[in-house]
Amino acid sequence: MKKILTSILIIGLGAASCTKVSENVYDKYPADQFYGSAKGADVALAGVYSQVGGNWNGVGYAGADNGWYDLNSFSSDEQVIPHRNTGDWQLDFARLYQRQWLPSDLIIGNTWSWLYKSVYTANLAIDQLTQAKADESKIAEAKVMRAWFYYLLIDDFGDVPFYTDNNVTVDKIPQAKRKDVYDFIVKELTENVDKLSETKGGVYYGRFNKWAGYTLLAKVYLNAEVYTGTAKWNECLAACAKVASGGYSLHPGAANAASPVGYQYYELFGDKLPDDETILAIYVTENIVSRNIYTIRSLNSANGVALIGFAGWNGTIVPKEYYDKFDANDIRRKQFLVGSQAGGVTYTADVSSLDNPGAGPNEGIRDIKFFPVKPADGSGESNDFPIYRYADILLMQAECNVRLGNAAAAKPFIDLVRVRAGLSALAASPTPDNIYDERGFELNWEGHRRQDMIRFNKFTLAHGFVPAVGDFRKLFPIPTSALNANPGLKQNPGY
- Encoded amino acid at 140, one letter: A
pLDDT at 421: 98
Sequence-separated (6 or more) residues with CB below 8 Å from residue 474: 226, 454, 459, 460
pLDDT cut 70: percent of the chain above it: 94
For residue 439, the model assigns a pLDDT of: 99
Sequence length of the chain is 495
Q: Give kind and range of the element (H or E) at residue 337.
A: strand 336-337
The closest alpha carbon to 248, from 387, 391, 141, belongs to 391
- Of the chain, the percentage scoring pLDDT greater than 90 comes to 93
What confidence score (pLDDT) does residue 64 get?
Answer: 97
Find the distance separating the first CA and the last CA of the chain, reported in whole Å: 49
Q: What is the 3-state secondary structure (H, E, C) of 115-158?
A: HHHHHHHHHHHHHHHHHCCCCHHHHHHHHHHHHHHHHHHHHHHC
Least confident of 25-29, 31-35, 451-455: 25-29
State the DSSP string of 240-295: HHHHHTT---PPP--B-TTSTTSBGGGGGGSSSPPTTTEEEEE--BTTTB--B-HH
67 sits in the region (left: phi over 0; alpha: psi -120 to 50; else beta) called: beta
Residue-level pLDDT at 12? 39
- pLDDT grade for 20, boundaries at 50, 70 and 90: very low
**What is the bridge-based pairing of β-strands 160-161 and 336-337?**
unpaired
Beta bridge partners of residue 380, listed in sequence order: 377
Taking the complete model, does pTM exceed 0.75, yes or no?
yes
Q: Can you give the pLDDT at residue 29?
A: 62
**4 pLDDT higher than 50:** no
CB 298 within 8 A of CB 368: yes
Per-residue pLDDT band at 31 (split at 50, 70, 90)? confident
Which residues lie closer than 8 Å to 405 by C-beta, 6 or more apart?
none
Task: Tell me the average pLDDT of the chain.
Answer: 94
| Per-residue pLDDT at 465 | 95
H/E stretch holding 234 reads helix 233-244
Per-residue pLDDT, 18: 35
CATH fold for domain 78-101+248-455: 1.25.40
Classify each residue of 401-421 as buried b or exposed e, where b means 16 or more C-beta atoms within 10 Å of its C-beta: bbbeeebebbbebbbbbbebb
Is residue 5 within 8 Å of residue 283, measured between CB atoms? yes
The whole-number average pLDDT for the span 210-232 is: 98
68-118 pLDDT tens trace: 999 999 999 999 999 999 999 999 999 999 999 999 999 999 999 999 999
Note the pLDDT tens digit of each residue in 144-186.
Answer: 999 999 999 999 999 999 999 999 999 999 999 999 999 999 9
pLDDT digits (tens, 9 = 90+) for 328-386: 999 999 999 999 999 999 999 999 999 999 999 999 999 999 999 999 999 999 999 99
- 10 Cβ contact partners less than 8 Å away, ≥ 6 residues apart: none
Where are the chain's structural domains?
A: 1-15+29-50+102-228, 78-101+248-455
Report pLDDT for 10. Answer: 36
Residue-wise burial string across 318-335, b where 16 or more C-beta atoms lie within 10 A, e elsewhere: bbeebbeebeeebbbebb
Predicted confidence at residue 30, as pLDDT, reads 75
Res 33: pLDDT:
86
Question: Which pLDDT band, with edges at 50, 70 and 90, does 6 fall under?
Answer: very low
Whether the Cβ atoms of residue 355 and residue 82 lie closer than 8 Å to each other: yes
Domain at 1-15+29-50+102-228: CATH architecture: Alpha Horseshoe (1.25)
User: How high is the pLDDT of residue 371?
Assistant: 98
pLDDT digits (tens, 9 = 90+) for 458-486: 999 999 999 999 999 999 999 999 999 99
Mean pLDDT for 214-238 is 98
pLDDT digits (tens, 9 = 90+) for 34-78: 999 999 999 999 999 999 999 999 999 999 999 999 999 999 999
Q: Are strands 160-161 and 175-176 parallel, antiparallel or unpaired?
A: antiparallel
Q: Which of 337, 330, 446 is nearest to 384 (CA)?
A: 446
pLDDT(16) > 70: no
For residue 289, list its beta bridge partners. Answer: 285
How large is the average pLDDT for residues 237-245? 98
Domains 1-15+29-50+102-228 and 78-101+248-455 share a fold: yes
Q: What pLDDT is stored for residue 27 in this prediction?
A: 46
Q: Is the pLDDT of residue 7 over 50?
A: no
